[in-house]
Amino acid sequence: MADKLLEVQNLRTQFFTRGGVVKAVEDVSFYLDESETLGVVGESGCGKSVTALSVMRLIDRPGKIVGGRILFRGEDVLEMDEEELYELRGGKIAMIFQDPTTSLNPVFTVGNQISEAIKVHLKLDDRAARNRTIEMMERVRIPDARRRYTQYPHEFSGGMRQRVMIAMALSCNPQLLVADEPTTALDVTIQAQVLDLMKALSEEFKTATMLITHDLGVVAGMAQRIVVMYAGRVIEEAPTRALFATPAHPYTQALLSAVPRSSVPRGTRLTAIPGQPPNLVNLPAGCSFAPRCPKVQPRCRVERPELETVGPNQRAACFYPY
């Protein structure tokens, strides 16, 4: 227990909208070890981002964390007061968002935005914070960092902006980096560069990473373990190698077969998972994936399967795994 960096237990986050209560995250549990990279995979709207924001306690109204525990080094984030949260955010857990264009404030210089976090968490004066900022900008390989310190976000390219976000996130030596789709908004050619950089820096800084993505290709090369989410729940959890070799849950299998491969002959149609993810206001009874599942059995429609061990370190929420 003591060696877990982050332990999320039975987290439930809901959004109270006019259309009803959206159960965005239901009973989600997972953990991260120190310096580990965990991939969180799932399609849009499955609760990945809400889980990440919940860990930072950044859920805004009408959303609310209604249950569970989030233990960061044994301390419950949900019990923290404002002061402790200010220290946690940016200082112990840092976050990178999907779209670096909208995630940076357009009216302040990049240097200003990186250094303000440094001043708050590392308690450095202006001069030292400036030096630290320029050092961080060099670490994320922004060329000519000293000059670019005084430039505004619009003067940076998309890839460079995401490097700014990474520099900002890592500048205060956080123990955990939450990266929410960090490469989704970037060109494919830039994606690999940014991922390599994140990998190298998190190893160098000994930062654990929670990498949220819908792209299995991204987690394959980055994560040691993977958590697969569907309709607000964790449906499979496995070491990366095992997940790719022997996916237990039919949803994971379907996801993997939907990845385009260069080995299939030309002209073959891409595989898709038929149907839509369920409405999170009125979840069907039983397994949420049942309506789309190719292996569905009568039992799946009435009873919800719990996460159960199906192999070494591998757990899946399915009555009929593999």
Size of the site for another protein (CB under 8 A): 30
User: Considering only 104-112, 189-197, 253-261, 312-320, which stretch makes contact with another protein by CB under 8 A?
Assistant: 104-112
Q: How far is CA 15 from the centre of its chain?
A: 19
Stretch of 37-45, 88-96, 246-254, 270-278 lying at the interface with another protein (CB under 8 A)? 88-96
Q: What's the gap between Cα 277 and its chain centre?
A: 19
84 binds another protein (CB under 8 A): no
Residues 120-149 that bind another protein (CB under 8 A): 120-121
Binding of another protein by 17 (CB under 8 A): no
Q: Which stretch binds another protein (CB under 8 A): 109-117, 193-201, 233-241, 263-271?
A: 109-117
Q: Hey, is 22 helix, strand or coil?
A: strand
Continuous H helices in the chain: 48-55, 82-88, 100-103, 110-122, 126-139, 145-148, 158-170, 188-204, 216-222, 240-245, 250-258
106, 143, 274, 298: which one binds another protein (CB under 8 A): 106
SS3 121: helix
Report which of 186, 185, 212 is spatially closest to residue 56, judged by C-alpha positions. Answer: 212
77 binds another protein (CB under 8 A): no
* Dist CA 38 CA 23 (whole Å): 23
Which window, 65-73, 106-114, 247-255, 288-296, contacts another protein (CB under 8 A)? 106-114
Is there a contact between 167 and 139 (Cβ–Cβ < 8 Å)?
A: yes
Asked if 168 is part of the footprint of another protein (rule: CB under 8 A), the reply reads yes
With binding defined as CB under 8 A, does residue 95 bind another protein? yes
Cα(313)–Cα(189) distance, integer angstroms: 34
Looking up tokens 């919940």, which residue turns up? 54
105 binds another protein (CB under 8 A): yes
58 binding another protein? (CB under 8 A) = yes
**Binding residues for another protein (CB under 8 A):** 56, 58, 61, 85-91, 94-95, 97, 99, 102-109, 116-117, 120-121, 152, 154, 165, 168
